[in-house]
Amino acid sequence: MPSLFPNVPPTINFVLEGEKVETLPWELRKLLKWRMSPITPNVVKNCIARSGFRATKKNHDWLGYWGKHMKAQGFKAIREYQKINHFPGSFQIGRKDRLWRNLSKMQLHFGKKEFGFFPQTFILPYDPLRIYIYDDGLVRFASCKYSNSLKNINNKFMHLTNYSINKKNTEYEANTDENVCQGHKCSESCVNSMMKANVRRRYCCHELFGFDVMLDENLKPWIIEVNISPSLHSNSKLDVNIKGGMIRDLFNICGFMLPDKNDVTPSGIVVPVDLSRYTPPNPLVIDKRIYPTQMSPDERSKHAYYVQRNLDEFTQQTLLDIITPDDLRMLVETIDEDSRRGNFQRVFPNVTTHKFLKYFEQPRYYLLLLHQWVQRYHRMEARGVALLESLCAQDLHLESPTSDPRHQWVPPSSTLPRESRPVGSAPNMAHGKSGSLPTLKKKRPPAGDAGSSLGGSTPTTMLRPPTTHSAGAMPSS
């Protein structure tokens, strides 16, 4: 799938049954390897097979893996070009005791007014944090009508909705028509530190969470638990359609890229590369310059400056006055990711979620960056995308550090006056002055698709309509 921006490599396209993908040359196609596990569900196997992936038992040549959660140190073995379906430490919300402990801490800190019940979402300590929720889901019903009589207290068909239990009830009615609601199923800071300590690159991790929701007699939703390995087994056409479509969209959000074949070696030894002299061997493979291992001194200073808690609102709004190469890479990655979301909807960040920033133990630079972008460009997304396009055309996202003084950060007190700022800087854009920005080229999305760049719900002709990709969520109850 091509990027919306120039000089950014494409991602592997995942499709539904009956759809076709463009065939890659054999030299690239042979790199499509997937590491299977005993719990890899059929919807995953079928999805990756349609894109040309083959199973492998080797440890070094796979690009994707779907399996159980593992200990944090196990993530150190994941290579830069590999993706696994978990974050280290996500059991902090996946285990009921840890979930309750973390929720209790939030209630103690912010009060019962904010955390007097299970919230609709949980604050995840990933940076950057981007959350998508799938448009559809599965609703499960108990196969016996509920009664609060004590004589029914042991009737598990009445009090539990698990399919594995209710299918054994003689009164259980299966769903035989995917388009009809019938039967008992129908449509519908610890972790961050472990990431930094055990994962080579944020590219390597994504996660799908399953939220179990129960409705009370007033139709008020209560979150019962969060599953870090939600069930993807399919026993009906309805299951296949919903879960298969969700997995297709999830993998597209994740943005799988082809590696440089020279990096796919059994030894696992990574040869240091001088990024200032580096050129990718093929425009279809990962460009290592997009994932530098270090930031420039001015970028580190910018991060440290804006995560201070005592900054006033006006100072916070200067974050986008100077867009550094690191800023550009994060913005491009986020907007590209959102354009591939399919039937997921990004619920964080968006224009209304700024109020949740206070729930983080410490300010996180990338969340602040995305928040400021949303606030500035949600009503004129095309102009914001055009600005990033123009910077990518200049290869700014491939520089680390940059030699362009316009994109070397200095504290706000020593920046140029706003009326003297170079053309194309963010403040002028915010006031509707286009300067010398290029005319936005409209890109026709596939039929039936529409979307927005980052902050709003207004469709544009540029973008296709989430992880997690830091995280994803599949609603169920």
**Residue 467: is its pLDDT beyond 90?**
no
Longest alpha-carbon distance in the chain? 79
**Residue 445: is its pLDDT beyond 60?**
no
**Residue 427: is its pLDDT beyond 50?**
no
Query: pLDDT confidence of 40, banded at 50, 70, 90?
Result: very high
Sequential DSSP letters for 445-466: PPTT--B-SSS----BTT----
Q: Using DSSP bridges, classify how beta strands 471-476 and 208-215 pair: parallel, antiparallel or unpaired.
A: parallel
Instruction: Tell me, letter by letter, the H, E, C secondary structure of 389-407.
Output: HHHHHCCHHHCCCCCCHHH
Higher pLDDT, 435 or 145: 145
- Output the pLDDT for position 163: 65
For residue 111, give both structure tokens.
Answer: 């009060």
Higher pLDDT, 462 or 146: 146
Closest to 359 (Cα-Cα) out of 130, 107, 59, 138? 107
pLDDT in tens, 351-401: 887 888 888 888 899 999 999 999 999 999 999 999 999 999 999 999 989
| Average pLDDT value over all residues in the chain | 79
Integer Rg of the chain from CA:
23
Confidence (pTM): 0.74
Q: How far apart are CA 59 and CA 56, in angstroms?
A: 8
Distances (CA, A) of 367 to 3, 341, 358, 410: 22, 19, 11, 20
Higher pLDDT, 286 or 133: 286
pLDDT in tens, 267-297: 777 777 888 888 999 999 999 999 998 899 9
**Residue 30: is its pLDDT beyond 90?**
yes
Q: Tokens 């997921």 — which residue?
A: 344
Indicate the burial class of 333 (C-beta count within 10 angstroms; 0-12, 13-18, 19 or more).
Answer: buried
Higher pLDDT, 404 or 159: 404
Q: Using DSSP bridges, classify how beta strands 33-35 and 131-134 pair: parallel, antiparallel or unpaired.
A: unpaired
- Output the pLDDT for position 86: 93
Query: pLDDT confidence of 474, banded at 50, 70, 90?
Result: very low
- Output the pLDDT for position 321: 96
| Helices and strands in the chain: count of H runs, count of E runs | 15, 11
56 SS3 class: strand
pLDDT in tens, 90-122: 877 777 777 777 777 887 888 777 775 554 444
